[in-house]
Structure 1
Amino acid sequence: MMHADAVRALTAWTADGAEQEQLRRDYLDHLAAHQDGLWRSCLPAHITASALVVDRVAGRVLLTLHPKVGRWLQMGGHCEPGDDTLAAAALREAVEESGIAELRLAAGEGEGGPLPVKLDRHQVRCAGKDRPENTHLDVQYLALAPAGARELISEESLDLRWFGYDELPADTDRSVRELVALARKLVG
C-alpha cells in the first residue's frame, strides 16, 4: 500500500521547475526498480519523508538541530511499516520530533491526501559512521502548527527552535532555505 501511495503522490505532484521535475522522475524510476524502495534497508538509496513545521500566524518555522548531521533541519526521517502513506510518514515524523500533536499537513491537497511541496536528494550515513553513505530521496511536506503551539524536544534532537522566515541560522543549507522560502510563498 505504501509503495502504491508513493507512486500516486509523486505522479500527481506537479514539480516546480526542471530540477524538481528531474528528481520526481528519478524517484518514480527508483520506485519502479525497487519494491522495497521506501525502506531503510534499500541501499544505496531509499525514499524518506519530512515536513517543515510552520506557524503561519507568527511567520516562523520550527527546526531541529539534528544530532548526526549537526545542522538545523526540518523534521523527518525513514518510512516505517505502520505508515500507510508518505504524507502519514512525514506527519508522524513531524509530530514525534516537534512534540506538537495538533499538526496538520498543508498544501497541494490531492485525491488520496496531501501532496508534497518539494523533493531533495542528499547523501547521509544513516546506517552508521563505519558504513558507506547512502542516498535519501526526501519527499517534503508542510505541516501547519496551531497558533501558540509549544514544541517539546525529543531524544531525536539536540535542540528545537522557532526561526522567523528571514532569521534562519547562518549555516542553514540551501535545501532548507529553499523549503522555508516555498513555505512562506505557499502559506504566508
Structure 2
Amino acid sequence: MPEGFVLLRDDARAALTAWQAPTDALEATRARMLDVLEAEPQCMWRHGVRTHFTASLVVLDESLEHVALTLHGKAKRWFQFGGHLEAGDASVRDAAAREGREESGLGDLLVSTDLVQVDAHALPPVFDWCREHLDLRYAAIARSGDLVMSDESDDVRWWPVDALPAGTEDSLVEAIHLARENLSART
C-alpha cells in the first residue's frame, strides 16, 4: 500500500474524532467508521479492501439556493461529486476538493474546513471490486458557475435545492441541508 494512505488514515481519524454528528444515525455511522479505521489498515486504499473510504463534496452556488450534481455514469443516479482517495492527496478534505474540481470543472471552490456529513453505502456489482464506500463529505461554495462534464458522468448540472431530481437519495438531501447550514454559518 502506498505510504500516502497511512497519512490519509490518520487524517480521517482526526476529522471523524473532531466532528460532532448532528443526529444519532450519523453518530452511529461516525462510530462505525472509526472502528473500521482501527481494524483495517488498508481502508483508505481502493485496492486494499472492498469496504473503503471515499471523499465527496457538496457544491452550492454563492446564494446557497442551487447545488451542482453529477449523473453518475455507472450508477445512473444523481450524486454529489466524489470518489476514491489518491496517495498524493494531502488530506481527505483535499481529496474531496480534488474530486469536486475534476468532476465539475469548477476551479474556484471555497471548501468547508470540517466534515458536513458521513455516509456508508453498499454498491451494486457494476462497481466491480468495491462493495461498500464509507464516504466523508465536505461542502463548498462555487465562485463561478460554469460546469464541465467529466468522462465519469453522463450529465452535470445545477439544481434548485428545493427541486432536486426525482429519486435523489435521502442521504444526499440531508447532505445538501447540512452543507447549506455549514456554509451559511461561514458567510
TM more than 0.5:
yes
Equivalent pair of 1:56/1:187 in contact (CA under 8 Å): no
Deviation string, structure 1 residues 149-172 (Cα, Å, up to 9, x no partner):
211111011100100110101211
Q: 1:130 to 1:50 in 2, by over 3 A?
A: closer
Q: CA distance change for structure 1 residues 187 and 67 in 2, over 3 Å: closer, same or farther?
A: same
Q: Distance in 2 between matches of 1:171 and 1:130?
A: 20
Residue segments in structure 2 that go unaligned for 5+ positions in a row? 1-6
Contact 2:69 2:78 in 1 (8 A): yes
User: Which amino acid is the alignment partner of residue 76 of structure 1?
Assistant: G
Is the deviation greater in 49-58 or in 68-77? Answer: 49-58
Deviations 1:109-133 (A, max 9, x none): xxxxx221101110114xx638466
- Cα separation, 1, equivalents of 2:116 and 2:177: 11
Over the aligned positions, Cα root-mean-square deviation in angstroms equals 1.6
Aligned residues: 178
**Contact 1:165/1:184, CA 8 A, preserved across alignment:** no
Q: Is structure 2 residue 180 aligned with structure 1 residue 184? A: yes
* Aligned positions of 1:32-51 closer than 5 A: 32-51=38-57
CA distance in 2, matches of 1:160, 1:129: 21
Higher helix share: 2
Does 2:75 correspond to 1:69? yes
Supply the distance in 2 between the matched residues of 1:170 and 1:13 (Cα, whole angstroms): 31
> Does structure 1 retain, via aligned residues, the 8 Å contact 2:64–2:180?
no
1:51 Cα shift? 0.4
SS in structure 2 of the partner of residue 141 of structure 1: strand
- Are 1:169 and 2:175 an aligned pair? no
- Residue 141 (structure 1) aligns with: 138
